């Protein structure tokens, strides 16, 4: 992994004026997410784990952000997005059907479950999903590219970039309340912001 | 329990008091009305339109109850400095979106809170170009408003004072306006780059007039540039309705009912409305009222009017024109992004600290309508949404792209889309948690909309190229802001309300929010919504004085 901001850790600001009490509470709760599925079945969970690992591959030198757990939590808690495309079923139906259909495609093409495939085989299937090329009857009337674009991608990537480890990687300042920022202009940095190791 | 669950667990504005948004754990006294008491006004929705109307009516001596489906937040205690948690501010109940260009809702388009969408809006507070109030006759497209821009100029000024807008001494476009009440905010890196790009293209630019204070005001401290404005301001620098007109409304004797979802407006035997059925604290209730004002924004307002159909009004209330729900407009919100050699760190400060309205005031172009563009500062979750939806990135390619976060720069347009009756809100068969039919939102861009978007993308790209940005890409599909589903006009056959926001069909039913816009202009809408609400309050007082309510 490239470490663009060596030594920078958003969590180190936890007891500085950048974090207030409610923010500490919210981030603590996020980090304490339950690792066992409450919504997904065993087979779905295995497929989901494999999908997350390809959509957002993570460095090997640290414990991964538990992305499947966040997807499961969203569905278990029924956190809705406030809308859905007419061609998509509600999120719980979409996820169950989508994971089953992906596994079905995998068995049809490779004769094996999706989570047992090699990464490049998994990527190929995911790429075909993104382009709308998967045709298993298990999709029903749900267009696979809409499932990819509006369920798989946001539910997984939002969970990742809401995690402090991701903030460290991209140099985001993280929580900022009550203290905000003082040095606002181009190429200006407050001492409590990430310092880059190198330029672009 | 997370903060979001707490605020939604039970109503807070009860027992004669409401949360004091400025002091932790404290309360302010609140007058309360019995349900059988016929109050002068029930206002459904407490946002950019509802809140100022509630305050001004109460200050004029009317008895007013403002209801909102959303919670009564205490910003100092409830608002975490966190993009994900603060989804609690949005209208997250299900809606179905279709059409050739379905609108993204949730965080993109509507709030659900006392204070409405202004609790999470980006604070950009702009006046319409005068000609837009007469788009049809002056500019040849859309529909004329029944309002005169000179009168609106006066209400804009009152709104700007009431919201303590920070802005430039001289605004570069349009007729003269007084200087803004608070000095402009300093520019962040993203805004500096907008300014340089505009100058390279020979365009004027300015510091954006913003509803966040640049010096202390009352109990609001100056903005500390934390950059979480669209996720709730935890310091109260931001002048949302929650900390401006709502406290004024309470002080003047209005009652606010939070977590109160209005499901149906009741119509009496005389054809006039008699009150509202609403769900609060686990059961349905009924509040009697002499007048009902719907201020739920351009999706929920038509939804409620349509869902309140009776034998007498089979097509829904105030719908003899057939236009309730039609002519929905959003605004084009496309963007161009690039990467700088310098560190921009666009997450600091309000997201849109600089703006150019050049193409709103320049008519030499081959399409109708105008647009402006603003500097951008998406936080990580929004930024990954842009990367994935615009570029189709995932996997290692996405990780690599995200690593340039602090070097990114962007320009985002707010563009005028034209009214079209095919873009509309209807009721779906599916029901929500209250058993009410959910909204179906149908939207397709027209040829003019597409031409305007392409023009803007080209211009914004030139501006980014001029400042030396590399790896430029376009976000082609974003929209934001809503308008138009209960338009105002001067003819009952082609509009839902008159200039006073009073429905043509039912004299004691009013609409006062973004849905009354006949056209949407090329700037963010909320200052215009608030100014219309201030005017409506004055008109109601004038009508009452003449015995014409
Ligand atoms: C991310 C984002 C950024 C924005 N930034 C800007 C900006 O910078 N500048 C700008 O001018 N505009 C901005 N806007 C738009 C602006 O917030 C809205 O245009 C404006 O708030 C709309 O005002 P309104 O009164 O029509 O509705 P709202 O402010 O949305 O208020 C409607 C209220 O009605 C309530 N309600 C609806 N139906 C019911 C019901 N049946 N019963 C009870 N309550 C109900 C809702 O809960 C809500 O609180 C932004 C919007 C978004 C989403
Ligand atoms: S930048 Fe200013 S307005 Fe925005 S959230 Fe921070 S203090 Fe509030």
Distance in angstroms (rounded) separating the CA atoms of residues A75 and A90:
10
The answer to whether the Cβ–Cβ distance between B95 and A123 falls below 8 Å is no
Centre of ligand 1 from the C-alpha of residue B297, in Å: 6
Q: What is the H or E stretch that residue B24 is in? A: none
Distance in angstroms (rounded) separating the CA atoms of residues B48 and B9:
25
pLDDT at B110: 87
What mean pLDDT do residues A186-191 have? 97
A193 falls within a domain: no
A78 falls within a domain: yes
The preferred substitution site among B221, B237, B346 for testing ligand 2, maximizing ligand atoms within 8 Å of CB, is: B237
pLDDT at B7: 85
Whether the pLDDT of residue B84 is over 60: the answer is yes
Residue found by looking up tokens 């999908």 in the block: A51
Q: Strands B255-257 and B64-67, how do they pair?
A: parallel
Q: What is the H or E stretch that residue B279 is in? A: strand B273-280
pLDDT at B109: 81
Which sequence spans correspond to the domains of chain B? Answer: 3-21+36-545
Residues 6+ apart with CB under 8 A from B454: none
pLDDT at A200: 45
Residues 6+ apart with CB under 8 A from B49: B116, B295, B297, B512, B513, B514, B529, B530, B532, B533
What mean pLDDT do residues A139-163 have? 98
A-B C-beta contacts closer than 8 Å: 204
Q: What is the H or E stretch that residue B266 is in? A: strand B261-267
A19 falls within a domain: no
The preferred substitution site among B215, B228, B242 for testing ligand 2, maximizing ligand atoms within 8 Å of CB, is: B228
Tally of domains in chain A: 1
Whether the pLDDT of residue B356 is over 90: the answer is yes
- Core vs surface per residue B94-120: b (16+ CB within 10 A) or e: bbbbbbebbbbbbbbbbbbbbbbbbbb
The answer to whether the Cβ–Cβ distance between B380 and A123 falls below 8 Å is no
Burial (CB count within 10 angstroms: exposed 0-12, middle 13-18, buried 19+), residue B538 = middle
Whether the pLDDT of residue A199 is over 60: the answer is no
Smallest Cα–Cα separation from B522: which of B350, B365, B348? B365
Q: What is the H or E stretch that residue B76 is in? A: helix B75-78
Altogether, the residues listed in chain B come to a count of 549
A73 falls within a domain: yes
A86 falls within a domain: yes
Q: Are B255 and B6 in contact (CB under 8 A)?
A: no
Smallest Cα–Cα separation from B67: which of B264, B211, B239? B264
Q: Strands B479-483 and B182-183, how do they pair?
A: unpaired
What mean pLDDT do residues A17-28 have? 96
Distance in angstroms (rounded) separating the CA atoms of residues B233 and B211:
11
Domain containing A94 equals 37-170
Centre of ligand 2 from the C-alpha of residue B430, in Å: 38
Whether the pLDDT of residue B401 is over 70: the answer is yes
pLDDT at A135: 94
The answer to whether the Cβ–Cβ distance between A167 and B235 falls below 8 Å is no
Residue found by looking up tokens 């749900």 in the block: A142
- Ligand 2 contacts CB of residue B221 (under 6 A): no
On the CB side of B530, CA atoms within 13 Å amount to: 33
3-class DSSP assignment, residue B180: coil
Residues of B in contact with A141 (CB under 8 A): none
Beta bridge partners of B277: B264, B286
CATH 3.50.50.60 is right for the domain spanning B3-21+36-545: yes
Reported as a pLDDT band with limits 50, 70 and 90, residue B1 is: low
Residues 6+ apart with CB under 8 A from B489: B143, B144, B145, B146, B495, B496, B497, B498, B518
A54 falls within a domain: yes
pLDDT at B4: 65
pLDDT at B6: 80
pLDDT at B280: 98
Q: pLDDT tens across B456-490, in order?
A: 999 999 999 999 999 999 999 999 999 999 999 99
ipTM more than 0.90? yes
**Distance (Å) from the C-alpha of residue A116 to the closest C-alpha of chain B?**
18
- Ligand 1 contacts CB of residue B262 (under 6 A): yes
A29 falls within a domain: no
On the CB side of B456, CA atoms within 13 Å amount to: 38
Degrees, nearest 5: CA angle A159-B224-B191: 80
In this structure, what token pair is assigned to residue B1? 């329990």
In angstroms and rounded to an integer, the radius of gyration of the C-alpha atoms of chain B is: 22
Reported as a pLDDT band with limits 50, 70 and 90, residue B17 is: very high
Q: Strands B39-44 and B283-294, how do they pair?
A: parallel
- Nearest residue in chain B measured CA to CA from A176: B226
What mean pLDDT do residues B183-211 have? 98
Distance in angstroms (rounded) separating the CA atoms of residues B337 and B9:
40
CA B43 to chain centre: 17
Whether the pLDDT of residue A1 is over 60: the answer is no
**What percent of chain B has pLDDT above 70?**
99
DSSP assignment of B280-338 equals: ETTEEEEEEEEEEEE-SHHHHHHHHHHHT--SSSTT-TT-TTS-TT-S-EEEE--EEEE
**Distance (Å) from the C-alpha of residue B139 to the closest C-alpha of chain A?**
35
What mean pLDDT do residues B229-255 have? 97
**What percent of chain A has pLDDT above 90?**
96
The answer to whether the Cβ–Cβ distance between B394 and A153 falls below 8 Å is yes
The minimal CB distance from A86 to the residues B96, B341, B388 is found for B96
What mean pLDDT do residues A8-20 have? 97
Residues of A in contact with B343 (CB under 8 A): 186-189, 196
Smallest Cα–Cα separation from B372: which of B166, B155, B198? B198
Q: pLDDT tens across B27-48, in order?
A: 999 999 999 999 999 999 999 9
What does the DSSP 8-state code read for residue B139? Answer: I
Distance in angstroms (rounded) separating the CA atoms of residues B492 and B339:
52
Distance in angstroms (rounded) separating the CA atoms of residues A66 and B88:
23
Q: pLDDT tens across A60-110, in order?
A: 999 999 999 999 999 999 999 999 999 999 999 999 999 999 999 999 999
Degrees, nearest 5: CA angle B264-B265-B270: 140
Whether the pLDDT of residue A149 is over 50: the answer is yes
pLDDT at A197: 79
The answer to whether the Cβ–Cβ distance between A81 and B92 falls below 8 Å is yes
């Amino acid at each position: 992994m490239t470490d663009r901001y060596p030594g920078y850790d958003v969590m180190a600001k936890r007891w500085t004026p950048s974090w207030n009490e409610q923010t500490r509470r919210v981030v603590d709760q996020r980090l304490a997410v339950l690792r066992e599925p409450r919504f997904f079945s065993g087979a779905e969970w295995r497929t989901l784990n494999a999908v997350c690992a390809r959509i957002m591959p993570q460095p090997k030198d640290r414990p991964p952000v538990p992305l499947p757990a966040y997807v499961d939590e969203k569905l278990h808690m029924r956190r809705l997005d406030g809308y859905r495309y007419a061609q998509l079923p509600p999120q719980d139906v979409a996820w169950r059907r989508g994971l089953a259909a992906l596994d079905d495609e995998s068995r049809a093409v490779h004769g094996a479950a999706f989570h047992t495939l090699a990464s490049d085989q998994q990527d190929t299937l995911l790429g075909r999903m993104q382009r709308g090329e998967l045709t298993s009857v298990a999709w029903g009337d749900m267009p696979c590219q809409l499932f990819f674009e509006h369920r798989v991608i946001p539910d997984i990537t939002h969970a990742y970039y809401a995690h402090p480890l991701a903030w460290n990687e991209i140099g985001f300042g993280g929580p900022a309340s009550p203290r905000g920022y003082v040095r606002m202009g181009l190429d200006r940095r407050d001492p409590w912001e990430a310092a880059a190791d190198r330029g672009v | 329990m997370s903060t979001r669950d707490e605020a939604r667990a039970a109503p807070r504005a009860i027992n004669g008091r409401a949360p004091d948004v400025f002091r932790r754990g404290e309360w302010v006294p609140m007058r309360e009305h019995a349900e059988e008491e016929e109050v002068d006004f029930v206002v459904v929705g407490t946002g950019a339109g509802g809140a100022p109307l509630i305050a001004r009516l109460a200050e004029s001596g009317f008895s007013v109850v403002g209801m909102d489906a959303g919670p009564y937040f205490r910003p100092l205690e409830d608002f975490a400095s966190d993009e994900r948690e603060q989804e609690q501010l949005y209208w997250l109940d299900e809606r179905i979106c279709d059409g050739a260009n379905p609108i993204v809702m949730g965080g993109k388009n509507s709030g659900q809170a006392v204070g409405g969408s202004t609790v999470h809006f980006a604070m950009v507070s702009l006046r319409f170009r005068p000609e837009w109030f007469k788009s049809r006759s002056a500019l040849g497209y859309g529909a004329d408003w029944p309002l005169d821009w000179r009168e609106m100029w006066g209400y804009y000024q009152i709104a700007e004072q009431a919201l303590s807008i920070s802005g430039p001494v001289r605004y570069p476009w349009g007729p003269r306006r007084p200087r803004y009440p608070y000095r402009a905010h300093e520019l962040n890196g993203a805004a500096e780059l907008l300014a340089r790009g505009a100058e390279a293209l020979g365009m004027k630019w300015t510091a954006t007039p913003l509803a966040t204070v640049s010096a202390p005001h009352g109990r609001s401290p100056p903005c500390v540039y934390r950059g979480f404005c669209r996720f709730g301001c935890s310091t109260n620098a931001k002048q949302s309705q929650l900390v401006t007109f709502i406290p004024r409304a309470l002080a003047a004797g209005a009652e606010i009912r939070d977590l109160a979802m209005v499901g149906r407006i009741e119509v009496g035997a005389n054809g006039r409305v008699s009150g509202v059925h609403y769900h609060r604290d686990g059961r349905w209730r009924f509040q009697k009222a002499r007048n009902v004002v719907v201020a739920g924004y351009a999706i929920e307002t038509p939804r409620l009017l349509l869902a309140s159909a009776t034998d007498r009004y089979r097509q829904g209330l105030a719908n003899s024109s057939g236009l309730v729900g039609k002519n929905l407009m959003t605004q084009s919100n496309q963007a161009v992004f690039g990467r700088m050699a310098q560190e921009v760190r666009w997450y600091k400060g309000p997201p849109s600290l600089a703006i150019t309205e050049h193409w709103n005031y320049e008519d030499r172009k081959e399409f109708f309508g105008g647009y402006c563009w603003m500097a951008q500062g998406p936080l990580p979750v929004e930024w990954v949404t842009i990367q994935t939806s615009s570029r189709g990135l995932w996997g290692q390619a996405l990780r690599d792209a995200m690593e340039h976060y602090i070097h990114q720069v962007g320009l985002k347009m707010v563009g005028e889309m034209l009214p079209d009756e095919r873009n509309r809100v209807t009721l779906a068969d599916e029901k929500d948690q209250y058993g009410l039919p959910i909204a179906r939102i149908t939207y397709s861009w027209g040829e003019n909309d597409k031409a305007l978007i392409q023009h803007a993308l080209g211009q914004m790209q030139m501006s980014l190229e001029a400042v030396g940005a590399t790896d430029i890409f376009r976000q082609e599909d974003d929209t934001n802001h809503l308008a138009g589903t209960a338009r105002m006009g001067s003819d009952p056959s082609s509009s839902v309300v008159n200039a006073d926001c009073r429905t043509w069909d039912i004299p004691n039913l009013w609409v006062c929010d973004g849905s009354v816009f006949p056209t949407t202009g090329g700037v963010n809408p909320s200052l215009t919504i608030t100014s219309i609400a201030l005017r409506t309050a004055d008109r109601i007082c004038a009508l009452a004085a003449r015995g014409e309510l």
